[in-house]
Amino acid sequence: EENVLIITSANEDEDDEDDDDDATMAIGGSRSKFCGAFGSPAAWNRQIIASRRNHFTSTAIASVSNTNINNQASSSPSTSWDGTSMSQAQFMERDTVLVTDHNDIVTSSATKKDSHIFTPTNPRGILHRAFSVFLFDASTSELLLQKRASTKITFPNVWTNTCCSHPLHGMEPNEVDGVEDVKDGSVGGVRNAAVRKLGHELGMDVKELERMSGEFKFLTRVHYWAADTVTHGEKSQWGEHEIDYILFATIPNKHALTTLNPHPEEVDDTRWVSQSQLLQMFDDDTLLFSPWFRIIANKWMVGGGGWWDDLEKTMNTNMFCDYETIHRFDPPEEHMGGGGGAGPWLCEPESSV
């Protein structure tokens, strides 16, 4: 069913989250599809309980503060982006993400740090553009997963898709896409950002990636938010609020990768998995997954008839491409709250079972 999205709160800058009840906003332009694709709420609960029981051994990340970041990051911005020489704190201070409105129109910029902080005045941070790459072995249909490093400030220690990050302002080649780029599915800016980050996070050969970039399949966009309460507690100041561009890519076989050398501050582990193996991982109470990966996987990839079932059709036709709709999701209950006490906003979450 196609709908115009009606959400509470026309402006996230209210001092009190309760003010959301008094305002509504109709989202025009891009169509909106919304609500729950998180899989079993019980499975989410099991993972959260397990994660809290294990306490994430990496206590350094649990204690990250604004002061820590300010002290670690240089006060002067870098003249060029160099993923090999910057710390996680410096990325937070220096990277300038693309701030968008709810129709994914770029309106301004913000530091990565500012856009990911959840406060009473910005209970879901600042909405910005992101991308998620899913890289498959065409010979086996296996998907390459990464486990985000324990040193990551947001969502450490979680398994997720091959690469997830942000297009940035001021990059060469350009990473900013306009309305027409999205409309025709070309999204050259997002592709450039994907090449940059696949090289940075996974150590993949940049020249090889540049050849692949034209073969990335842009499928659709997902608008979601999630407080990182699992890592930083129920009042977590950190979280995500993104319009996420989904890109699929294939290689003939995993051995065709000339390099796969994950950056230790970005990635703790990688794993090639089949659909059945991923489902087994989802059922493993000792493993954690990023909320955006859960949304995408359960909505479109597993369970029959999805994007993963026939990669050739997904990659070589436009059957699954939807450049107009922005699909919108609230997180499961465990990822609500945070520093701004954010609650349901884009849709009603699934109830627990």
Average pLDDT for runs of 10 along the chain of length 353:
32 40 38 50 40 34 37 38 68 88 97 95 97 96 97 95 96 96 97 95 88 90 96 95 97 87 95 97 96 95 91 95 97 94 76 30
Q: What is the DSSP string of 227-274?
A: E-HHHH-TT-SBEEEEEEEEEEEEES-GGG-S-----TTTEEEEEEE-
Mean pLDDT (the chain) is: 80
Q: Calculate the dihedral angle through the C-alpha atoms of 106, 108, 111, 117, rounding to the nearest 10 degrees.
A: -80
The per-residue pLDDT for range 62-93, each reduced to its tens digit, is 333 443 433 333 333 334 666 666 667 777 77
Give yes or no: 242 in active site: yes
| Residue 317: predicted pLDDT | 96
Give yes or no: 347 in active site: no
Where is 201: in which H helix or E strand?
helix 188-202
| Residue 22: predicted pLDDT | 35
| Residue 256: predicted pLDDT | 78
Name the active-site residue from 242, 266, 333, 334.
242
d(Cα 176, Cα 245) in Å, to the nearest integer? 13
Name the active-site residue from 14, 164, 175, 201.
164
How big is the CA angle at 15 (ends 14 and 16), to the nearest 5 degrees? 90
| Residue 211: predicted pLDDT | 83
Residue 335 has what DSSP assignment? G
d(Cα 221, Cα 130) in Å, to the nearest integer? 9
Amino acid in position 102: H
d(Cα 313, Cα 317) in Å, to the nearest integer? 6
Classify strands 239-251 and 128-137 as parallel, antiparallel or unpaired.
parallel
Give the distance from CA 88 to its chain's centroid.
17
The per-residue pLDDT for range 25-39, each reduced to its tens digit, is 333 445 555 554 444
| Residue 30: predicted pLDDT | 54
